[in-house]
Structure 1
Amino acid sequence: MAARLARSGFWCHLPNYPRPIPRQPSPIQTLRLNRFASYQRFPGRGPQQTQYRTRFRPINRVQYVWNNYRRQIATVGVGSGVVYVYNLEPVPITGRRRFNILSAKTEKSIMEGGYPLLLEELKGKILPAEHPYTRMVANVVERLLPAVKELAGDEWRVHVINDPKQMNAFVMPGGKVFVFTGLLPICEDEDGLAVVLGHEIAHNVAHHAAERLSRSIFTWPFIAAASIILDVSGGTVQFITDLIFSLPNSRTHEAEADHIGLLMMAQSCYNPEAAIPFWERMKEAQKGAPPQFLSTHPSDYSRIKAITEWLPEAKDKYQESGCGLTGGYARKFSQAFGKQGVMGRKQPVIFQPARSPQQEDDDLW
């Protein structure tokens, strides 16, 4: 009532009556008013202002950056788009379009830098060249290579690491093959081993390492900018970026390597139908694996389903390469009367575990 009378001017007719004291805003109310006040980047130097109409600070930062740097952002965006489109290329065999700015030679030189360090780390665990496991792996790689003429100039080396707990294998760009003994019981035979090595060599055929390095040109600036604007740690933005971009792309690479590897082993006269039993055994051995959306690899169920769809194409490749009944007899005859050894060969000709200069006189091998 008093406030209504004050607004109507009633108090001016009562000369001796005390007038009400205006209520002062509390410090919290003052802070709230100031948060939504107008902000001017350079006071007195132009009309550029950013109106803060939200309590969510990241939106305020986005408004500020856009209002003051929109030309620079547009220039960088257009330039990045031109670079991206210009460097699109098809992946060998599958034809998938992807962004890549690194040549195969550059990719090899970058990745091979860690090869001596890896040898030093695995010192004492690498089986000798005469070991049956090393000969078996070398024999499979030697049969797979004619199917990938793109990698003919690489200097191939086979390393079998004596670690029964590791069910893993990988091939570095440049032809450095690493297989852990824990994977061999799951492979069971050369067909199963061809599934693994075909998959790993396929990563080099498709130059997935170069694609990942090329993609980092865009992802790392995005992570840095997002961490500043959102006022969160870089690890949080990294996790979100991996979840949205990196992990799906990695699963794409794995599925693509499955496809290429399946065709490679079929062309090399390995039974492509062995891929499904292998992944079923791997599924049993890897119980408790994370969900697919949190993993760099497709789930075993997705892999088996995709391989089942690719099997007709792989069987056609198998027949086209003369790997039917006649081809099988020819291979057995060659192994029986050719070079004798553990897997039909006395000694791999082009595969020997590589030594670093410091290890030439060691008994490591």
Structure 2
Amino acid sequence: MDALAPAGAARWTRRAARFLPRSRAARAWLGLAVVAVGGWYVSHLERTPVTQRLRYMHVSEAEERRLAAASYREIMLQHGHRLVPAQHAAARWVRRVAQRLIAATGLGDSLKWEVHVIDAPVANAFVLPGGKIFVFTGLLPLVQDEAGMAAVLAHEMAHQVARHAAEKVSQAKLVLWGRLMMAVLFDPNLARSTALLDLGVLKPHSRRTENEADYIGLMMMAQACYDPKGAIGLWQRMTAYEKQQAGRRGNNEIAKYFSTHPAGEERIDNLRRWMPEAEQKRTESNCESSSRLFAAFNHIAGRTRW
């Protein structure tokens, strides 16, 4: 295999060279174009909140709101008839946990959060840019208690805090250009180029943002005085459920590389590694005195459990 590598590299180099300009002036213009594109890319780099990860962002908040509004309309058309009434016990319980997270983290200052519970046997939840959270009732038996619900909601809120939806759209724009360039310069088979970029860029990037939301969400629930260990319990139950579902579909170990989410065991290991920091965050939030206030709030609101 080693002897074939130089020959293969030379073949790709010759193929790419056919598309490069021959004249010195044209090469100079190409160099300037590369510098301009590089400068444009660098000018759109920014740091994520909390984790300070460097990322490319080319979606404005106004564009993000427009995309979210379109998604919201589509979701309501599909699931609007299944929304649980606001005064239903499950809806009140989910909303109460969300309100506690919002109040403790100060996220209500710039966003108008809305929590919708959809009556469907789906173990899932998601958030749209702008603060609209959707939770399916199929997830509630796995959540079990308020700490588990806080882990779910904090994770979804973390996606909003980090603007992951806008980041994914920005990443998709880059990948689109990458697909075209790979098809033109190296491989005219666009489908093959698409698969390579999907497995090598998009899916790893999606798993990275999920891990980031796990971290930010863990800190958020600890700041709201929920026991951060509840996140570990949640993901242990979720992992067991996912394995059960995967067994029915005949899934295998290779499938995790095709997934947009990290494996459950990986998430649990990460949460355990971050747990000392989360416990410290909870201690700094003066939770002993806050717990009496939360208990009174729960008593007034009526303690409800799904």
Identify the TM-score tier after normalising by the shorter chain.
0.7 to 0.9
2:226 is equivalent to residue 262 of structure 1: no
Unaligned segments of structure 2, at least 5 residues: 1-6
2:4 corresponds to which residue? Answer: none
2:88 is equivalent to residue 131 of structure 1: yes
Are 1:151 and 1:205, in contact at CA under 8 Å, matched by a contact in 2? no
2:267 corresponds to which residue? Answer: 303
2:143 is equivalent to residue 187 of structure 1: yes
2:276 corresponds to which residue? Answer: 312
- Identity %, equivalent residues: 36
3-state secondary structure, aligned to 2:52: coil
Q: What TM-score, normalized to structure 2?
A: 0.86
Alignment of 1:1-365 (within 5 A): 60-68=14-22, 70-149=27-106, 152-164=109-121, 166-287=122-243, 288=246, 291-324=255-288, 326-336=289-299, 338-340=300-302, 342=304
CA deviation profile, 1:289-324 (whole Å, cap 9, x unmatched): 664322111111111111111111111111111213
What is the CA distance between 1:245 and its match in structure 2?
A: 1.1
Which letter does structure 2 place at the counterpart of 1:141? Answer: A
3-state secondary structure, aligned to 2:209: helix
User: Whole-Å Cα distance in 2 between the matches of residues 78 and 147 of structure 1?
Assistant: 46
Are 2:171 and 2:202, in contact at CA under 8 Å, matched by a contact in 1? no
Which letter does structure 1 place at the counterpart of 2:148? Answer: G
User: Whole-Å Cα distance in 1 between the matches of residues 61 and 286 of structure 2?
Assistant: 31
Which letter does structure 1 place at the counterpart of 2:256? Answer: Q
3-state secondary structure, aligned to 1:123: helix
3-state secondary structure, aligned to 2:167: helix
User: Whole-Å Cα distance in 1 between the matches of residues 196 and 108 of structure 2?
Assistant: 35
Which letter does structure 1 place at the counterpart of 2:68? Answer: M
CA deviation profile, 1:123-152 (whole Å, cap 9, x unmatched): 321111111111111111111113444563
3-state secondary structure, aligned to 1:296: coil
What is the CA distance between 1:175 and its match in structure 2?
A: 1.2
Which structure dedicates a bigger proportion of its chain to helix? 2
**210 and 116 in structure 1: CA distance in 2 versus 1, 3 angstrom threshold:** same
User: Whole-Å Cα distance in 2 between the matches of residues 72 and 183 of structure 1?
Assistant: 56
User: Whole-Å Cα distance in 2 between the matches of residues 231 and 95 of structure 1?
Assistant: 36
User: Whole-Å Cα distance in 2 between the matches of residues 115 and 306 of structure 1?
Assistant: 32
**77 and 111 in structure 1: CA distance in 2 versus 1, 3 angstrom threshold:** farther
CA deviation profile, 1:3-30 (whole Å, cap 9, x unmatched): xxxxxxxxxxxxxxxxxxxxxxxxxxxx
3-state secondary structure, aligned to 1:303: helix
2:3 corresponds to which residue? Answer: none
User: Whole-Å Cα distance in 1 between the matches of residues 141 and 76 of structure 2?
Assistant: 24
* Alpha-carbon RMSD: 2.3
Are 1:108 and 1:174, in contact at CA under 8 Å, matched by a contact in 2? yes
| Bigger CA radius of gyration | 1
**218 and 70 in structure 1: CA distance in 2 versus 1, 3 angstrom threshold:** farther
What is the CA distance between 1:342 and its match in structure 2?
A: 3.3
User: Whole-Å Cα distance in 2 between the matches of residues 72 and 246 of structure 1?
Assistant: 31
Are 1:99 and 1:214, in contact at CA under 8 Å, matched by a contact in 2? yes
CA deviation profile, 1:60-82 (whole Å, cap 9, x unmatched): 54221124464454233211211
User: Whole-Å Cα distance in 2 between the matches of residues 341 and 330 of structure 1?
Assistant: 14
Are 1:155 and 1:174, in contact at CA under 8 Å, matched by a contact in 2? yes
Are 1:145 and 1:152, in contact at CA under 8 Å, matched by a contact in 2? no
Are 2:187 and 2:193, in contact at CA under 8 Å, matched by a contact in 1? no
Are 1:279 and 1:304, in contact at CA under 8 Å, matched by a contact in 2? yes
